[in-house]
Amino acid sequence: MISKKVADVKEAMKGIQDGMTFMLGGFGLCGIPENAITELVSSNIKDITCISNNAGVDDFGLGLLLHKHQIKKMISSYVGENEEFERQMLSGELEVELTPQGTLAEKCRAAQAGFPAFYTPAGYGTEVAEGKETREFNGKMYVLEEAFKADFAFVKAWKGDEAGNLIFKGTARNFNPCMCGAATITVAEVEELVPAGELDPNQIHIPGIFVQRIFQGENYEKRIEQRTVRPRN
């Protein structure tokens, strides 16, 4: 069996260059590839395009890349937790392509499946559809959306094996799985890496064929965007 295991995050990131397009999994701050983001920050890579459901918060996640002005363009759906993102967007420092959340997920999944484009009703009649082909099906108008093209996809799973098979936990399944195999190279970081054959095949969410590199991550903070608790009685 082919082993996809690499020694650490530095080896996993070999080949990244300025100006590339990266997919980054996660939902809010849940299931984000923390180790990969930290390495991108320390690498001082610049002029990158990031495809992610959100833009992190000011001092965590993709917010760290934004503070160092490493991101040239953000393709996202929900960006309401990051003041620096807002500042850069309004000042014109950052190019932003806001995408309906379902469309964002489907553009990833289409790339994963090898489909070049698809029709969706989301965004018809709005700025989202400007400059795009539209077509009527059964009396309803649809917008043609093209699949994403990315150089690297960075995803985070709960558990994986050396063959690249992945198991996700909870909300981390929202965008990580559909980004696997949706870029030229998929890098998976996992909380626990086990030898091939140890995972129950019935529990695997993404088969290893969609992953090129896998490593065991470390020092996960797993921060919560807005922690709300009940007062003590």
DSSP β-ladder status, 48-51 and 21-24: parallel
Residue type, 10: K
pLDDT of res. 40? 97
Q: Work out whether strand 71-76 and strand 185-194 pair parallel, antiparallel, or are unpaired.
A: unpaired
Torsion of CA 189, 194, 200, 204, to 10 degrees: 10
Look at residue 3 in the predicted model and tell me its pLDDT: 95
CB-based burial label for 223 (10 Å; 0-12, 13-18, 19+): middle
Query: 3-class SS at 144?
Result: strand
**In a 3-state reduction of DSSP, which class is residue 219?**
coil
Q: What's domain 9-115+148-216's superfamily in CATH?
A: Glutaconate Coenzyme A-transferase (3.40.1080.10)
Q: What is the per-residue pLDDT for 119?
A: 98
Beta-sheet strands, E only, within the chain = 21-24, 48-51, 71-76, 95-98, 117-120, 134-137, 140-146, 152-161, 166-167, 185-194, 213-216
pLDDT of residue 225: 77
pLDDT at 79: 84
State the pLDDT at residue 170. 92
What is the pLDDT, as a whole number, of residue 222? 85
pLDDT recorded at residue 228: 83
The structure's pTM equals: 0.93
Low-confidence ranges of the chain (pLDDT < 70): none
